[in-house]
A and B are shown apart, each in its own frame.
Chain A
Amino acid sequence: MEIAVDTTIKLIQGLELKNPVMNASGTFAYGEECSEIFDLSIMGGIITKGLSLLPNKGNPPPRIVETPCGLINAIGLENIGVDAFLKDKLQFLMQFKTPIIVNFFGSYEEEYVECARRLSIEGVAALEMNVSCPNIKSGGIQFGTDPHTLYALVRKVRDVTTKPLIVKLSPLAGDIAEMAFSAQDAGADAITCINTIPAMAIDEETWRPTLGNITGGLSGPAIKPIALRTVWEASHKVDIPVIGCGGISSSADVIQFMLAGASAVEIGSFSLREPFCFPDIINGLTQYMGRHSIDTIQDVIGRLKL
């Protein structure tokens, strides 16, 4: 028997997700490839590859190295730029009946501001600010490790957009709860925890770094326990919703993140290995709810028993 359960998440005023499962930025490109293999309308939301004001060529190869239970990437935020996205990709994404969340970043404050300004148009449901990428030379992670710098940056972006604004944090922040609080204080509507963790791999045969960029960002199941802890800490400090991200690979993982305090989740690396995982995990959630007699998934958020 089909069990009727309510998987809707009212994430932010004006941003409702039909279920808490979204893709993470950078592992879904702009949706086209995945749309060929399953119906993207099932997604709780679609998050684009991180965009900068101008197109970005990214880092030299190799850009990917596998590590135990995960991978290190040094893509270097290769992207087509905000304008090309708006011209060539947004229309396509809008056909799916799910919110389109645009991830963006800058190398300096004005770039963030200008990106946010240009992206604040119809069809874009929300903005996710990446203040935590380890793979670019300037900016990026700096904004995500100092609460004052972060506050100033989020303030400036907040001033130019009325779109729901999500700030994606770095696990490198000394105190992630403090960073989340700064973002909230500056007007952010939600927090994403976490981006990749700065990491490195070396080839002992050649004595060379494995990645063209020398260092990169670690993701996948290897970082899940860290991500879970950051969600727990951040969600206790702020009133705005926290989106969990890092190593999620199953509906069980989704539930764990929600118990820790996440209102929604993003799945990245696992979908590189399992492109069909989204329908499976979303189905898994309703089955879990049926098994545990949970009517509305909102009731799971932050309900960890201590």
Chain B
Amino acid sequence: MKDLECSVIKNQKVANNTYLLALRCDGHIGEYMPGQFVMIKISSNTHPFLRRPFGILGYSDGLLYVLYKVKGQGTYMLSNKHPGDKLWVLGPLGKGFSLPECNEEPFYVAGGTGLPPIFSLAQHLKKGHIMIGAKSLDDLALVEQIRNIPNTKASFTTEDGSFGFKGLVTDVLKKCVSRGRGHVLTFDILEHDIQLNQMTEKECQMLRHDPLIIYACGPYDMLRQTYIIAKRCRARCQVSLEEHMACGFGVCQGCTVETRSGNMRVCKDGPIFDAADIIWR
């Protein structure tokens, strides 16, 4: 973990309220794993007081890329930074995604601001099927860059149908896990864990033959639905969680989530967790 002074190279609006930030760091941030994040200090005075967590979209040749959506004060101030302005970046932080085992095929699910870690992972693995969801076409960022990730297939979903499939990204995931097997899944997306557990071994095997690993980042409900689908088709599933953070490096216990192995810190033990370990709300 380093604390690097960085200068803004680019801070460009790329979608509705969404900016692509490129930073030149005054040192080497070091190796990072897709899924890791940084804490950005937006101001040298104490307003805002805390740093803000953002996923690493990419890092190469001393340039760090972050994709963020303006949400409140901190991200608003960030959106007003100009080339040459200084920011301070603490990172890389947390644990990244664990990579697919042997012949596991990766599926990626991203919704809202969940794109950065998913993008960076797909670019790292260069295989699998990327599914991106947004409210509307205006909210979709980096469409061309996603399409250009070699060796991958990309599907887009918008809630209003303005681009790609109409509906939720998890609707597409549901279809994809069974595509090519002649089995269209009929279960309701809101079905509960209990019902999923009742599915027989045979039914599960029919769904898919290749082992799957599903990676997801986005709103909590999307993550939960993704997990339900993953569980149904016996896929491994890793999700990136968000929680309010003060330190981002594990010392304040501010970002704790409950898991089957007790309390875990999203910033240090995560933000990537096996979905099966999480006690879902």
Residues of A with Cβ closer than 8 Å to B? 26-29, 33-34, 36-37, 49, 57-58, 61-71, 73, 75, 78, 220-221, 249, 269, 271-276
CB <8 Å contact, A276 and B263: no
Number of interface residues of B (CB under 8 A): 26
Between A and B, 9 residue pairs with Cβ closer than 8 Å are A26-B252, A28-B251, A29-B251, A29-B253, A66-B48, A75-B254, A78-B256, A220-B49, A221-B49
CB contacts (< 8 Å) of B244 on chain A: these are 61-65
Report which of B48, B251, B256 forms a contact with A33, defined as CB distance below 8 A. B251
Complex alpha-carbon distance, A78 and B251, angstroms: 12
> Does B276 touch A at the CB level, under 8 Å?
no
Closest-CB distance, A47 to chain B (whole angstroms): 12
CB <8 Å contact, B246 and A71: yes
With A28-B251, A272-B246, A273-B41 known as contacts, the answer to whether A63 contacts B50 (CB < 8 A) is no
> Does B1 touch A at the CB level, under 8 Å?
yes
CB <8 Å contact, A272 and B50: yes
CB <8 Å contact, B47 and A75: no
Tell me if A's interface is mostly helix, strand, loop or mixed. Answer: loop
> Does B3 touch A at the CB level, under 8 Å?
yes
**20 extra interface residue pairs, beta carbon distance < 8 Å, beyond A64-B254, A271-B251, A275-B251:** A27-B247, A33-B249, A34-B251, A49-B253, A57-B263, A58-B256, A58-B263, A63-B254, A63-B255, A66-B50, A70-B49, A71-B49, A75-B254, A221-B46, A249-B46, A272-B247, A273-B49, A274-B3, A275-B3, A276-B3
Closest-CB distance, B235 to chain A (whole angstroms): 27
Report which of B41, B46, B252 forms a contact with A27, defined as CB distance below 8 A. B252
> Does B70 touch A at the CB level, under 8 Å?
no
CB contacts (< 8 Å) of A221 on chain B: these are 46, 49
CB <8 Å contact, A73 and B252: yes
CB contacts (< 8 Å) of A220 on chain B: these are 46, 49
CB <8 Å contact, A62 and B250: no
Residue of A nearest to B74 (CB): A66
CB contacts (< 8 Å) of B46 on chain A: these are 69, 220-221, 249, 273
CB <8 Å contact, B251 and A273: no
CB contacts (< 8 Å) of A65 on chain B: these are 244
> Does B232 touch A at the CB level, under 8 Å?
no
Complex alpha-carbon distance, A33 and B250, angstroms: 7
> Does B239 touch A at the CB level, under 8 Å?
no
CB <8 Å contact, A33 and B49: no
CB contacts (< 8 Å) of B254 on chain A: these are 63-64, 73, 75
Residue of B nearest to A28 (CB): B251
Closest-CB distance, A65 to chain B (whole angstroms): 7
Closest-CB distance, B88 to chain A (whole angstroms): 9
Q: Which residues in window 218-256 of B have CB below 8 A to A?
A: 243-247, 249-256
The 5 A-B residue pairs with the shortest CB-CB distance, nearest first, are A64-B254, A272-B247, A62-B244, A29-B251, A33-B250
Closest-CB distance, B252 to chain A (whole angstroms): 6
CB <8 Å contact, A272 and B1: no
Complex alpha-carbon distance, A220 and B246, angstroms: 12
CB <8 Å contact, A61 and B246: no
CB contacts (< 8 Å) of B243 on chain A: these are 61-62
Complex alpha-carbon distance, A26 and B253, angstroms: 8
CB contacts (< 8 Å) of A67 on chain B: these are 49
Complex alpha-carbon distance, A75 and B245, angstroms: 11
> Does B95 touch A at the CB level, under 8 Å?
no
With A64-B252, A272-B246, A273-B41 known as contacts, the answer to whether A36 contacts B51 (CB < 8 A) is no
Complex alpha-carbon distance, A166 and B1, angstroms: 33
CB contacts (< 8 Å) of A78 on chain B: these are 253, 256, 263
> Does B208 touch A at the CB level, under 8 Å?
no
Closest-CB distance, A120 to chain B (whole angstroms): 26
CB contacts (< 8 Å) of B49 on chain A: these are 66-71, 220-221, 269, 273
Closest-CB distance, B249 to chain A (whole angstroms): 6
Complex alpha-carbon distance, A273 and B252, angstroms: 11
CB <8 Å contact, A275 and B249: yes
Closest-CB distance, B259 to chain A (whole angstroms): 12
Residue of B nearest to A74 (CB): B254
Complex alpha-carbon distance, A220 and B49, angstroms: 8
Complex alpha-carbon distance, A75 and B244, angstroms: 12
CB contacts (< 8 Å) of B247 on chain A: these are 27, 272, 275
Complex alpha-carbon distance, A36 and B249, angstroms: 11
Closest-CB distance, B19 to chain A (whole angstroms): 21
> Does B135 touch A at the CB level, under 8 Å?
no
Residue of A nearest to B247 (CB): A272
CB contacts (< 8 Å) of A58 on chain B: these are 253, 256, 263
Complex alpha-carbon distance, A34 and B1, angstroms: 10
CB contacts (< 8 Å) of B251 on chain A: these are 27-29, 33-34, 271-272, 275
Scan B1-41; emit 1 where CB is below 8 A from any A CB, else 0: 10100000000000000000000000000000000000001
> Does B153 touch A at the CB level, under 8 Å?
no
CB <8 Å contact, A75 and B263: no
